[in-house]
């Protein structure tokens, strides 16, 4: 009797199992959200830069300063090519749309250690008289828009906008037995354009490699020698190029 009851119970449970299984709710597995570059970020960069600075006319500045206006005949342009390290930071925001295009804006500032010198003869001085021009670029800030194409976690982009450069100028030498030391400062505006590629490598972190070109056109720089009480302008035309490696931390980015 007991065996018959156990067998009947087993049959009942077995027949009910499919019904019970059918009544159990199935929990759907949600797919991972797609990756997106929509975010705001902040980070830093390091790299190298080189510049072309054409200075006109430091020879006239010295000779006319000592001998009087109109003494120097002709125009002399001295070219210095500073090079050095750049180190700074950036902050910005991006928005991804349609579905792989990315647009955004960025503010950046690079402390610059670029330095370069060039010399020129002073033909109205004593034999061997010359001047040495030294230029330091201290800071290059910029504000740019950028537009790019996203291939999943890789972003290929171009950028462009406004830029500024802070420079120090020094002109030293000897003219007809008298030493001179002209100094000048310049903060000038220009434009910048560049391109780069950025990779999202860990959670909220990305790395980038970027090339930037800066053009600051022509501008006068006032040079002054406080010892000899001399001063006058020189015209400076300058461009800067830089390659930077950067690291960014992203926030407010859906899908990360």
Per-residue pLDDT reduced to its tens digit, 232-241? 999 999 999 9
Please state whether beta strands 205-225 and 101-121 pair in parallel, antiparallel, or not at all (unpaired): unpaired
Residue 95 lies in a domain: yes
167 pLDDT exceeds 70? yes
Q: Cα–Cα distance between 240 and 106 in angstroms, integer?
A: 19
CATH of the domain at 173: 2.40.160.20
Residue 130 lies in a domain: yes
Q: Torsions phi, psi of 66, nearest 5? A: -85, -35
Kindly report, residue by residue over 49-98, the tens digit of the pLDDT. Answer: 999 999 999 999 999 999 999 999 999 999 999 999 999 999 999 999 98
Residue 30 lies in a domain: no
Q: How far is CA 113 from the centre of its chain?
A: 14
Q: Tell me the whole-structure pTM to 2 decimals.
A: 0.86
Q: Cα–Cα distance between 57 and 50 in angstroms, integer?
A: 22
18: left (phi over 0), alpha (psi -120 to 50) or beta: alpha
Question: What is the residue whose two structure tokens read 């230029």?
Answer: 135
155 within 8 A of 172, measured Cβ to Cβ: no
159: left (phi over 0), alpha (psi -120 to 50) or beta: beta
Please state the domain count of the chain: 1
Residue 170 lies in a domain: yes
Please state whether beta strands 205-225 and 230-251 pair in parallel, antiparallel, or not at all (unpaired): antiparallel
Residue 87 lies in a domain: yes
């Amino acid at each position: 009797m007991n065996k018959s009851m156990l067998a009947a119970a087993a049959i009942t449970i077995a027949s009910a199992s499919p019904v019970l299984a059918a009544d159990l709710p199935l929990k759907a597995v949600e797919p991972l959200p797609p990756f997106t570059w929509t975010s705001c970020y902040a980070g830093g960069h390091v790299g190298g830069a080189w510049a072309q600075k054409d200075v006109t006319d430091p020879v006239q500045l010295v000779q006319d300063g000592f001998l009087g206006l109109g003494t120097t005949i002709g125009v002399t342009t001295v070219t210095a090519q500073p090079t050095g390290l750049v180190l700074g930071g950036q902050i910005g925001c991006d928005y991804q749309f349609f579905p792989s295009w990315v647009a955004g804006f960025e503010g950046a500032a690079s402390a610059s250690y670029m330095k370069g010198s060039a010399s020129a003869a002073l033909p109205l001085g004593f034999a061997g008289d010359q001047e040495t021009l030294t230029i330091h670029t201290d800071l290059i800030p910029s504000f740019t828009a950028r537009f790019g194409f996203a291939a999943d976690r890789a972003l290929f982009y171009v950028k462009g906008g406004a830029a500024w450069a802070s420079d120090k100028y020094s002109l030293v030498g000897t003219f007809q037995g008298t030493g001179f030391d002209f100094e000048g400062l310049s903060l000038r505006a220009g434009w910048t354009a560049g391109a780069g590629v950025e990779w999202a490598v860990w959670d909220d972190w990305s790395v980038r490699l970027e090339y930037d070109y800066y053009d600051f056109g022509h501008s006068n720089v006032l040079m002054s020698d406080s010892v000899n009480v001399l001063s006058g302008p020189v015209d400076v035309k300058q461009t800067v190029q830089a390659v930077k490696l950067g690291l960014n931390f992203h926030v407010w980015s859906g899908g990360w």
